[in-house]
Amino acid sequence: MTQTRTAGPAAAPLSRSYEMFTRSPANPLLTADQWPYPAAAVFNPAAVVVDGETVLLCRVQDHRGISHLTVARSPDGTSRWRIDPRPLIAADTPDRAHCVGAQDPRITRVDELGVWLIAYTVYGPEGASVALAVTEDFRAVEHVGTAMSPEDGNAAVLPRRVGGQFILLHRPVSALTRRADVWLSRSVDLRSWSAPEAVLIARPPGWWDSARVGIGAPPLETEHGWLCVYHGVHRLDDGPLYRVGLALLDLDNPARVLRRGEGWVFGPAASYERTGNRANVVFPTGLVHDAASERAAHVLLRGRHGGRPGHRCAYRRSGLPARLPDSRATPAPVAGTGPDRGGVSWTAIAAGRSSRLSTAAPSHW
């Protein structure tokens, strides 16, 4: 197992690449055909458990190609879905930054505030921004406002303050270099945010996560650190290839990467992940942790091709950090670059930027 160290906030490798998850035979979980109103595609949901029910906040694309966010509920996370008749977060709003759609939510329970905090990407004439909203019941929301201006997205908030501040992980895109890495900002009130700090940097050309990286579901707090599921992109001649990796951040300083998997742990293989309007994508947007059993967490992955959410994926929490080598290894951040401008026994739910949502369980169980 590699234990080399280098300077900077980059991190460490796994000894080999392998698929950690297996797909549920119930996949895909939801399709646009099941929607109570016209929808072209359903994908990229956030996932939580509320009063024993699995709640998905799904990205729904209409026939204009514009997205909004709608809630679906299930008693077991795989069947008997009840879909709300109208969006929780609509696409068309008077807010200029939010007038061309909302997409790709991540949901964090913030016990200090007694609310569910939704971080999501909004689009306006200037491009993509990060917005925040809160809800107590997933029937109404209070909009906090825009947290990060264009071009930015793929955001998730930690469930508690660190050093007295809320932590937002997000993925700004450099207007100069087009680099897209995971950065971190801090806030005392969820409205004013500090200058970004580099966290997880795309690796050098040739690596599976060399083109860009983005945070997945909100990180899970463990005794070893904040366990992150993230997506990495590799550029191929026929387009980008999205896969899933793991990293571990320091509990007291989440800008410090303790460990980082060298290989991906899940990649597109099923037909609903490899074909569609965006082929060859799995994309983690939600994670449900069974704290009582400590056995698993469900990961929402999306295969990008338009209409159905989900894969169920799971891993055994105990022992995972031991598989991730000491981080301070490959690669150091590029000088001068910066931002300008989702066992989970039954619920690892993955959504595809396909038209589907599906699920998977750990292959090593």
CB 131 within 8 A of CB 150: no
Confidence of residue 18 (pLDDT cuts 50, 70, 90): low
Q: Which amino acid is at 284?
A: P
Q: How many other β-carbons are positioned within 10 Å of the β-carbon of residue 166? A: 24
Give CA–CA dist 18/345, Å, rounded. Answer: 20
Confidence of residue 271 (pLDDT cuts 50, 70, 90): confident
Provide mean pLDDT across the span 85-96: 86
All residues at 6 or more sequence positions from 114 whose CB lies less than 8 Å from its CB, including other chains = 136
The full length of the chain comes to 365
- What does the mean pLDDT of the chain come to? 79
Give CA–CA dist 156/119, Å, rounded. Answer: 6
Q: Return the ∠ at Cα 292 (arms to 290 and 295), rounded to 5°.
A: 55
Answer whether the bond into residue 151 is a cis peptide, omega within 30°.
Answer: yes
Q: Diameter of the chain by CA atoms?
A: 54
Does the pLDDT at position 70 exceed 80?
yes
pLDDT digits (tens, 9 = 90+) for 102-141: 999 999 999 999 999 999 999 988 899 999 999 999 999 9
- In this prediction, residue 323 carries a pLDDT of 44
Helix (H, G, I), strand (E, B) or coil at 273: helix
Residue ranges and CATH numbers for the domains of the chain are 21-362 (2.115.10.20)
Q: Which of 273, 293, 284, 267 is nearest to 349 (CA)?
A: 284
Distances (CA, A) of 62 to 66, 125, 342: 6, 19, 22
CB 234 within 8 A of CB 210: yes
Distances (CA, A) of 165 to 37, 254, 313, 322: 41, 12, 31, 29
Distances (CA, A) of 131 to 168, 259, 274: 11, 29, 30
